[in-house]
Structure formats: C-alpha cells, structure tokens
Structure 1
Amino acid sequence: MEDTIFKDLNISEEILKAVTDMGFEELTPIQSLAIPHILEGKDVLGQAQTGTGKTCAFGIPAIEMVDAGSEEVQVLIICPTRELAIQISEELKHVSKYKSNIGILPIYGGQPIDRQIYALKKKPQIIIGTPGRIMDHLRRKTLKLAGLKMVILDEADEMLNMGFREDIDTILEKVPEEKQIVLFSATMPKEILELTKKYQKEPVYVKATHKELTVPSIEQYYLEVSEASKLEVLSRLIDTNDINLALVFCNTKKRVDEVASSLQTRGYSAEALHGDMRQEQRDRVMNKFRKGKIDILIATDVAARGIDVDDVEAVFNYDIPNDEEYYVHRIGRTGRAGKTGKAFSFVVGREIYKLKDIKRYTKSNIVFMKPPTLMDVEEKKTAAILDKVKETLHEGDLSRYAAYINNVLEEANSHDGSDTSYITSMEIAAALLKMLSAQNSTSSDLSPEIDDVDAGAEKGMVRLFINIGRENKIQPRHIVESIASSTSLPGKLIGAIDIYDRYTFVEVPAEYAAEVLESMKNNTVRGKRINIERSSRKRVTGRKKA
C-alpha cells in the first residue's frame, strides 16, 4: 500500500491544520485503512494495537461528522479505563482545535459525578466514557442519546476481559437504531465476533499489523528530560559519545528548523530536512550527509524516507514518535552493514507511557540513562585532546615548538628574585590544555533543567510549590483530595507534603508532574485560588517549618 498523507484525505482545512500542528504528515496503516470507510458512514471493525494511531483513525471522522450547531450528543466513545478516556479526550481536543463550538467531554468513575452532570449541561457533542459511568448517567437521565449518530468501542477485547459485556449490551440497546458503529480491538476472539455480528451492519474489516524490531545490534536508551533541556542533553550526548554522523528525528517541520538552527549556533555541523524544502534543497542536503560533509541531519519521518547511509552512528528521537512503527523505521537507520549503532529517545512527562508501548510491541530493551554531566563532557573533550597530543609526540619534529616553550619559561621566570614562584613546563602544558578545551567547547553553561531541577525531591519525584499554607487552614488531606480529584494521579502515589504558614511543598511522580501543573493551575483549595509551580527550593529536614 502506498504511503498516504493527510492532504490526500477528504477532510476539512481546520482538521488538516490541526493534525499538522500535532506533527502528523503521513497516515499510519490503520488510519489509511479505516478513515475513508468511516468518513463514508460505513460500520468498521478494526484490528489494531495501542500505538498505531487508532485514536485519530476514528477521531478525525467523528469530529468531521459532528454538527456544531446541534446541542445533542452525536458521538459516544466507549473505552475500558479512565486513563484511556482522558487520553482520547485530549487527542480529540487537539484534532478539533480549529473547529468552533465542538464540545468533548470524558466521563469516568473516580471523579465526582456532580461535576460531570454540570459539564453535561453544557451540551457536549462528543462523549468519551467508561461503561459503568455511562450507564450511571443513563440511569440518572443526565446523558441523553436520542440524537446519536456514531458509537465507537475502543479496546473492545479489553472491555470484555474486564467483564463489561453486559454493560455494553445495555448501552447499545439504548441508542438509536440508525447509527454508525465503529469497533477497534487488538485481538479478534469469538466474543468480539459475536458482538460485531449482533450490532454492526456489513462492517468493513481492516487490520494493521505491527512490524517487530529486527536490529539487535542497536543499543537503545531513553532519557527523562524537560522540553527546555532537550537541546542541552542532545549536545552533551553528541560530545560524550564521539558521534560523527547522526540523525535527529522531530515530529514537526517547525521543530526541525528550530533544532537545526540551535545546533548550528552552538558550532555543530548540522542541517535540516523536511517536506517544505524544495526538492533540489533536499537533494543537496542528502548528498552532503551521505558524503559526510555534515555531521548531524535533523529530519521529519516523511522526509527521512530513502535515507540509506551505512555509517550513521546514532539516532536521536528528539520527539517520541506518534506511531511505534515510526520508532522502528527511525532507529533502523543506524547499526547497518554489521556495525553497532545507538538510539537515544527523549521522554517528557507522560510520554513514558508511549515508550512503554514501544518497548512492549517491539520487544526491545530500551535502557534508562541519565543525561551526561558537564564534567562528563569536559573529561571526554580533554581525553580527545590528550590523544591528539600523544599522536603528535609520536610524529616527532617538535624542536621548533620546544624552543617557543623555552622562551615562555625564561620570560615567566625572569623576575628580580622578589617573587619566589617558579613556572614549570608542566604548568605551561596545563595552560595550553585549558585554552584548547575552552576553544573546543560547544555546550552551554550548566543547564538547571538538567542538573538542578527537583533537587531535594525523592528519586523519580518532582517537588511542587503551592502558595497556600497553615494560615489558610490547609492540611495534607486537602492537598491530596484536590490533586486526586483534578488529575489521573491516584492519591496514594502523592509523596511528601510540607506545609508552612503561607505556602506548601508537595512531591508527585515525575510522569504526572505536567498534568498536575496544568490541571491545578488556577484551581481552588478550601475556597482559595492557588498558584502552583515547580519548586527550585531544596527540601529542608530537621528544621522547624516557618
């Protein structure tokens, strides 16, 4: 099947612009197979695993068919867990970014139902929910499905494994007879086939198979970083691994240009490659990369098609790919012709879950590593200089340069005797080494995003500052309840809470930090609107709290 880009689909300019912002250029296999049929109004039975892009496979057609002028629920997406409901909701909100008046609401257990009832009164057209909570709202008559046009069952096999078959039957029996049903499942057991036979009308069956990783000679690593520290980490990895030829993958063309420009500013031989460049520009850049005239090529997935260079020493996933198969394609660019290669993936916050999916379905061992420190970088550079010095010593013919050193020694030590210090040839050699190290430096100053953030927090935790404390009658339970009810972070995973008179510090798992910061922003605790941010203050123990 030929590669399809989103511009080839019969979709609106608003959605096309949104998916471009999300970094999508080319459709994944399941998207190519499913979207056209769903757009035509056909029932679809899709077999696809997590990480194949199936959310957009049903989400794009769902948003396209919604009548923004109607206040009825038109799309119902049923999924097994609250985490998946939230994930689907977030992705659909990105897809509908430029569509006006489209409401999307996740409903699930574990969240106060009163809050959901209030949100339902705002008349969202798309509901994403778990079976139990959907049934609860149907019983309360707070969710009405008379205007429903489409039902989507995501991870249907997982819902059956969790015992939701009766709930699904109950829900599907309450929806209008004339509706489109789309069902996605990673496997096709007998129960799924029974379900589709009972509720779908002449469904189109589409299947996307996973390609497994077949490049064992590649060492694979991942690093947990912040967005702000990615460039610094990339620079340090290049410097400490003696990488001469590298591919850096980004999810968007804009990001490619930004990274290429930043690396050039730091003195690296780097160039960009993406679809907005003219063909002759792309050919010129590729030829330079093949011939080793540039060291680092920064590219999007689509632009990198056709890159066939045996000497690529490392691949960097500057952005985690949107599809697991892209990961396989990306890192397969190194470790060729019997050589070993390295792949480094930068993981920000909850992207760790994407990485877990990649590890699971590619059956590969991706090892955690810490970013190199500035000391690591300096030691590597100094070692390289000293290796060069040894080569030069072996070559000989140093008499002229030795004379220069003697002159410097004589001048440095030609004092009247009042100064008792004496400069040695060893010190002159050290001074020269220091000068060379400074000249060869490409890394920026110590980046707090890498080395200092969350100093004092427990390992794997992020320390957050909240501008309320004992004076506001705040207790630990208030902090826990507020975070647990506003985010997907279970209360039992919240770490140390230090409450002072006017402020509070709380530790949360690193993978939840971004969600907590976003969800709690401008939230209220005990009636007071709060400000929450990452803490740069180290944890103080054994001292009386102010």
Structure 2
Amino acid sequence: MTKFEALGLEQSLLDAVTDLGFENPSEVQEKAIPILLENETDLVALAQTGTGKTAAFGFPLIQKIDSSSRTTQGLILSPTRELCLQITNELKLYSKYIKGLNTVAIYGGASISEQAKQIKRGAQIVVATPGRMKDMIGRGIVDISKIDYCILDEADEMLNMGFYEDIKDILSNTPDEKFTWLFSATMPKEVATIAKKFMHHPKEITVGDKNAGATTVQHEYYVVGGRDRYPTLKRLADTNPDIFSVVFCRTKRDTQKVAEKLIEDGYNAGALHGDLSQNQRDLVMNAFRKKQIQMLVATDVAARGIDVDDITHVINYQLPDEIETYTHRSGRTGRAGKSGISMVIVTRSELRKIKSIEGKIKQKFIAKKIPTGMEICEIQLYHLASKIRDTQINEEVANYLPAINDVLQGIDRDELIKKIISVEFSRFYNYYNKAKDLNTVDTDGHGERKRSKGERGEASSNGSVRYFINVGEKDDYDWMSLKDFLKDTLSLGRDDVYRVDVKDSFSFFNTDAEHTELILQTFSDFKVDGRFVNVEVSKNPGGSGRSGRDRSRGGGKDRDRSRGKRRDRKSSHGKSSHSGKRRSKKRDGFF
C-alpha cells in the first residue's frame, strides 16, 4: 500500500503524520490527496463517514495555504457544531509544525463576539456551520471574497438538514475562480445540483459504490408487532451485554420517551435531540464518548457529526423516510476498519422498505428472530461467568476471608458457584422465564422472495444448529473475522456459517445440521496459539431457550468438569472493546 511519503506531502505534514501514528493512508486519502496536490481543480469525492475524509482534504488544503498571509484563504462548511470542532482540532494537529497558520471554528451556541475576535486576529482557514457563517457574513465580520478553496464536508447531511439556501448564499459571496472540493457519503439530487451550479468540470473519486453502505457493517432486521418495539429494543440490548450504540428515532418526542424508559429500566442511556440546550447536548455527548452512556437515543438531525469510532451497534427503532438517511445511520458503526451491526426494528407493513434499502446500499439484510427470554438468559449467564473470571481481585477482601469462610462453611465448590451466579442470575431469570415470544407468526422477511442460506438461519429451526464457542471480542474476533475463521477451519462455504453473534469472551454461530458432526469432531481437541477452543451445541432451537451442553458426545459431567479445568488454565488475549458498565436494574435484575 502507498505510504504517506509517496503522496506528495511536505515534510512538516509528514512529521505531523508520524506524531499522529498514521501509517498507511485510507482509500479516500490515497485517491484524493495526489489529485488535490498536483492539480488546481474542483473535486467531488464520494465516501462513507469514518473513512478518513478530514485528512483527505485537510492535508492538501494546509499545504496549499500561504501561512505568511493573514487573509482567509480556505473555507470549510460542515453540518454540525460537533463536526466543525472536530475538523478544526484535526487541522490544528496536522498543521502543528507550520508557523503562523491559524484555523478558527465558527458555530452556533457559542459567543459570536469571541469568534469575531479570533477571525480579526487572522484566520487562513475558517471551519463553519452554515447558519453561523451566514450570520457573520451578514454582520460583515468574515470576509470570504478572496478565498482560494471551499470545502463542503458531509454535503448530503447539510442539505438534508435544510441548509441548501444558506449554502447558496454563502457560496455567492466567494470568488468564481476559487476551487471547490465536495465530500459526501451519498449523491442525492440536491448535492448534484450544488455541484452543477458552483463547480467547473470537477474530477470525481468514489470509494466503494455510489450510495452503497460500508462493507464492514452487517445489516439485520427484526419483524415485530406495533406495540412490541420497545420490548424488542430491550431484548436486543440484553442479548449484547457490552453494547455501545446509537438508537435512532424519527421524532424528538419518541427520542425523549425511549431514552426515559431505558433509564427507568436501569440502562445507561441518554437522549440527543433538538430541544436540548447546547450545554445539555455537550454533557450527553461527553458521557457517550466516555462510555458512561451505552445507548444514545437520537434523532437524525441531532446525530449529525457524531464521530465515535467504536460504536458496536446502530439500532433503527424506526426506519427513516429517506434511504440516504439510513446510509448515514448505519455509517455510525463499522468505522476505522472495525466491524459493526445495524439493526432495524420493523412491522410487517414496513418490509417493503427493507427491499428498497437493500437495492440502494447494495447489501442484503439478514432476517433475524427477536431473542427469546431463555436465549437472553443463556447469553447473560455466560457473560456473568466471564465477568466473575475477569474481575480483578481487591486484596482488601483478604481481611474478611476468615469470617466469610465461617459463614460459607460446609458449602462445596459446585454449590458455591451456583449460589454466587444465582445472586444476580435469579432476578434476571425470573423476569424472562415466562416472557412471551415477540416474534410474529411469519418472519419470512420479504415474503415473495426466497432468502439465501445466510439469511435463512433465523427461520430454519428444524435444519439449523446453534453452537457455543469459547472465543470472543477479547480474542480479537468480531462477526466478520470469526465467520472467516470458522469457514476456513471447517472448509465450509461463506453462507454455510451464519447468525454469528460475538460477545466479550464467547460467541454463538449457526450451521445447517448436516455440518454438526464435522464441527464437533474438528473442535474436539482443537488449539489456537496453545489455547483450547471448544465448540458445543446449544440445545435451544434456533438459538433460543435454556443453555445446554451436548451430552450425546459422551463424558457427561466428568467431561464438562475436565473442560472447566482446562478453561481455568487458559488465559484470554487481546483487549476488551468496551469498558462501560450497565447499572443493575431496579425491577428487571439485569446485569
């Protein structure tokens, strides 16, 4: 792969690249930077969020700016305050070795007089939201009549937010001979109109297919009854104990309502919508970035500019009206080379929208069943056991051990383990034990079309077998890499392994029943880097129901006990993806 040195960057920028720890350019950087450095040209770049677009236009812009002149030479328009600040901070890091270069952020919700002072001191690059920029031009505070470069970042998002007229007014104050660089995830007709009106024979680059979704994102949908959206949301969260997600709602009212219900039920949740003050918004976003909030419930407008690389799930509580909006939602996960999952909760009448989105993003959705109560109990039981195993011992406990041993005297090891697990697990089990099945009668998805084997796993309880495997995120697996590992190890086709659900230190997957013997034989005494990797059959049809070890393989309790000893000797490697912890639930007893 091409290194940054080969793209034509000056040494001062290469030094900054080294400090930032960048090694290889992303695809959009590799395509855009040489074009912008070697030519004076307009550019249209189509690439998903999280692909490194800021550096793709930031490095060439900084290199072309004359830092000895205090004239404003570059204008960057971005849709939100958060993105505006993020771009500004990144440009300052890129230009840290260039003396005299000043980048100023202009955005609403902050003192306009303070921003005016910064502009007056001299700003070669201005990063602005359209509304505040138009205001400052109207007041005569900012002069962009001599700029050389204008960058429209996240152009489709700005236009979706209703900034079309503002952008036209702002661009009308810029010189005709400037160069315009337009970066966008999708190309709706409004973006094409801007390009046609304000750009001259632009060069085009595309990362992936136009309007297509990121290939690192797995798309899933769950068919529910109209009244079961919220219970389904809870089950999706409980099936993923380490979830770090954005939950999208259509309206501000629904956003606030869902967030309040989640908080009431004991989840670490927060709301992000247009009725919040800037201070409230900042508090929520800071808590989310620190993972003090695991489920951020947001409207599409309020979520513009969220740039957090390790979001594990995007949950569409309701589908958006525009397909392009879904592309932006799902682009919040699967960023910076990581994988992610986009979940959609739909009613039967909305299934036609899934088909439309598939055609636009050029990816298939997997029809999945809503987890049953017992499936969730199984996952949470393993999660609790892993949590106990990985808990760092507080040595102060030693002072109390003699008295504790007296209290626990006469309880053998197995019974003690059961009691410890039951302290947390019983409340959880009691909540879900008799919970109803939320799946509609027919989750056959698109109805008229036959699903592929990869999609079929959720519905084929007769011919599909669910397995437990003792590796997960801590072993550096995600759903993509674990699927590849299983496929390669077992010499199966990619569609032969499906419903891959990766948790912190264990995972689940499905195959058709015909592969069961091969799988159990292969993993009967299988090691990776000296560690035993065990695969066992869960007796829950389709992956739901009670946890069950496959006794038909022989060995019974003795076999399980010997496996337990082996596991005691094993050590996980890699780092946990998420450090956020969920509060114990006041009513449900979740952990």
| Bigger Rg, which one | 1
TM exceeding 0.5: no
Q: TM-score, normalized by length of structure 1?
A: 0.44
